[in-house]
Structures are given as structure tokens and as C-alpha cells.
Amino acid sequence: MAIVSREASFQLTVKEVSVSFGGIKAIQDVSLGVRPGQIYSIIGPNGAGKTTLFNCISGIYHADHGSILFDGVELIGMKPHKITQLGIGRAFQNIELFKGMTVLDNLMSARSFHMSYGLLRAAFYLGSCMAQEAQNRDLVEDVIEFLDLQHVRKTPVMSLSYGMQKRVELARALAMEPKILLVDEPVSGMNLEEREDMARYLIDINEEKGVTVVLIEHDMGLVMDLSETVTVLNFGMKIAEGTPGEISENPEVIKAYLGEVHT
């Protein structure tokens, strides 16, 4: 019988990754593994290294040492656009949209790396250019419908509420057709109704689209309701990993993070 390693079952594997900025160690020997189809959450106090870890996975930061594997491919040293092409999407905490462009145009811009035609074909809108444009437009329209954005599809992003802009940010990432979606604090700054809507969309993306979701979030109710596995960082180090129930009862986690919620 063939022996399958535990790591082989992971879609995303982070092994002993460390990142320093000058003399400050932002992440120290962090390891974790995300399986296909999971909703996996990373929590911790502000400054724990959560977004730094996302930036390493996305290729924005370069790790001092360690390994990050996605479907068996090493990501460290790879350019961010190449990582996106592999199937890693990112929805940012600080909204990264073109504020003067419409919702539709923002989502179409996320499809640019899927379009292979050159400048000449684009200038004359010929042949494969027209076919690719139509195909990508159909996919974007599907995302717009999936996230209930039809009524604002031609509205400039700057005219939308903050909560709606966060939804468009999620839609932009989904329009990239990711296999795994990194979502950084999707409900920060939202009211209760907006948070409930966002939670439902994340579940739908995971269950209906089959996309693995890795979540950074301070809303512990959302984390505990959605996640299969939770990793806890504190001062750049991993201090716990487990189910939401295990994490909520972990004394070290309560001291470092959960206990702060009740003070």
C-alpha cells in the first residue's frame, strides 16, 4: 500500500516561515496546512503577523527562510502575478479598487491576466480579442449576480457605501477564478446586517464555487461559526491550532487574544 504524506493532503502548506523587518521579527517559524475545501481562519491580536503571512503567500513580502507550497509548487521567490495565475486570489483589508471606475470595470480589470491578445488586436478589437472579451465578460457577470451586485454594476465604486465596496473587493478577487481565496478582515467596519451578508457570501463561495477560503478576522463570532480549523498567532509566533471549540477553550489563546474581547 502506498504511503501518502500528511503534507500531500494540503492545498497550501506553510513550513517554518520567518520574516524580519530590520531587527523586528514579524513572523517566526510559522507552519500551517490548509486542505482543499476548508474555511480556515488565522486569528490573533493586532501586530501578530497575520497580514504579513498573507503578504508572504501572495509574494508581496519575501520570507527570510522557510517554504510555502501551493499544490506542490514553491511560492517563495515567485512574482505576485505568477502566484495569482496559479489560483491564489486576495481580498484586501484596505480596499484595493479603482474608485473612479464602475463595479463592472473593476471586475473586468481583474481578468486582465487571462487575456492573451496583444496591443494590435486590442486596438482593432479583432478575432480572438472579441471572443476573449465576451468570455471574460460572461464570467464577470456571473460573479456580479452571485454576489447580488446587479443593481450597482454600472455605478462608480466611489459612490458606494463602505460595506458595498467591501463586497466589490470580494467580487474582484472571485473574478480571478481562484482555487484558494485569502480574505483579510472582510467584515471590519460593517454593521450587523452587512456582516451577516458577508458571512453568507463566504459560505456560498466555499460551498457552491468550491473555493478554499483562508480568513483573517477579529470578529470571533464569524470565525467560530464559519471555520473548520483556526490557527492563532501572537507576536509573530503560532501559539495554537485546532477546531473553533478547541481554540475557544485554550488557556494560552484566552490570555493572548480571546480574553481581550471581554475586557
CATH topology of domain 1-87+178-263: Rossmann fold (3.40.50)
Q: What is the pLDDT of residue 104?
A: 95
Q: What is the pLDDT of residue 257?
A: 60
pTM of the model: 0.87
Place of cell 451578508: 197
Q: What is the pLDDT of residue 2?
A: 40
**Cβ(196)–Cβ(225) below 8 Å:** no
Q: What is the pLDDT of residue 127?
A: 54
Q: What is the pLDDT of residue 123?
A: 46
Q: What is the pLDDT of residue 261?
A: 45
Q: What is the pLDDT of residue 158?
A: 94
For the chain, domain boundaries: 1-87+178-263, 99-176
pLDDT along the chain (263 residues), means of 10: 59 97 92 98 93 96 96 95 94 88 93 56 54 81 96 96 94 95 94 95 97 95 95 95 94 74 43
